Amino acid sequence: MTPILRCCVAALAVAFIGTAATANAETAPEAAPPAEEAAPAGATAAPIPTPVATAAPVGQRVTDQPGFSLGARLAYALPMGSLEQGQTLSDGISGGIPITIEAAYRFTPNLSAGLAGQYAYMLTKNCDTGASCSASDYQILLEAIYNVRMGSTIDPWFGLGVGYERLSLTESGGGLDASGSVSGWGLATVQVGGDFAAAPQVDVGPFVSFSVGKYGSASSGGNSADIPSTAFHEWLQIGVRGTFNL
């Protein structure tokens, strides 16, 4: 006999024994249910409380609390102004591709402050015949950013920065091999942009920045000197910015 049949036979035997025992048992008369007490005259029935649905708490974003933010930018930069009086910055540079890394602390949902470091590959022009030119720009900024946090699809923000800049230039070939750099403190930057929430902790959006500064010193061949006739120069950047909020 298979286990399944053996189980069925055992179950039928138990059911038969139970039925026989029930038939031989004496049936006792059922007791009448107790009569309900009459409610006092004038009494009203207690109302049944209506269930109240509680709303789920609205989820908070990471940016609603203090914490750190890491950011990266990629942009195109347009040069304006002069290296020094009588020498226009755009004479030798047509533009640049800056890459910026940021680290900031978020004090409130709206206000954060931190450091930004930038490296920019410069696009040179008007190089001497037979020679090749290259240039790069470095910036270190202390910046503060204010996020509006309107709860809309795009979150506008505004930023201010101040710091140090160094522009390096190299020319080689055609019987010439020279390099030099100009640098200066006090570079001031104004920024504006908008963030889209790409993920719970990630914001991405466009930005525009405008920087103004002066190169105060020049160096070449291991020697350095102050620039006697300084002049203002500017950078206009248009690009995209991504932020990871912790």
Host H or E run for residue 57: none
Contact assessment for residue 61 and residue 200, using Cβ atoms and an 8 Å cutoff? yes
Is residue 241 assigned to a domain? Answer: yes
* CA proximity to 69, closest of 108, 107, 106, 111: 106
Contact assessment for residue 72 and residue 99, using Cβ atoms and an 8 Å cutoff? yes
Q: How far is CA 31 from CA 24, 34, 37, 241, in A?
A: 21, 9, 18, 83
Host H or E run for residue 22: helix 3-24
pLDDT at 130: 85
Is residue 212 assigned to a domain? Answer: yes
pTM to 2 decimals?
0.73
Q: How many residues does the chain have?
A: 246
Domain span at residue 74?
68-245
Distance CA 158, CA 150 (A): 14
The Cβ-side half-sphere exposure at 105, using a 13 Å CA radius, reads 1
Is residue 9 assigned to a domain? Answer: no
Three-state DSSP at 186 gives strand
Is residue 220 assigned to a domain? Answer: yes
Is residue 171 assigned to a domain? Answer: yes
Structure tokens at 96: 């640049």
pLDDT at 25: 46
Is residue 49 assigned to a domain? Answer: no
Letter string b/e over residues 110-121, b meaning 16 or more CB atoms within 10 A of that residue's CB: eebbbebebebe
Structure tokens at 56: 């789920």
pLDDT at 3: 36
pLDDT at 192: 98
Contact assessment for residue 98 and residue 241, using Cβ atoms and an 8 Å cutoff? no
Distance CA 181, CA 61 (A): 45
Total domains in the fold of the chain: 1
Is residue 110 assigned to a domain? Answer: yes
CATH label of the domain that carries residue 170: 2.40.160.20
pLDDT at 151: 84
Per residue of the chain (246 residues), give pLDDT as tens.
333 333 333 343 434 444 444 444 444 445 445 544 554 555 555 556 555 444 334 557 899 999 999 999 999 999 999 999 999 999 999 999 999 999 999 999 999 999 999 999 999 999 888 889 999 999 999 999 999 998 889 999 999 999 999 999 999 987 778 999 999 999 999 999 999 999 999 999 999 999 999 999 999 988 999 999 999 999 999 999 999 999
pLDDT at 124: 96
Is residue 29 assigned to a domain? Answer: no
pLDDT at 129: 85
pLDDT at 209: 98
Contact assessment for residue 240 and residue 74, using Cβ atoms and an 8 Å cutoff? yes
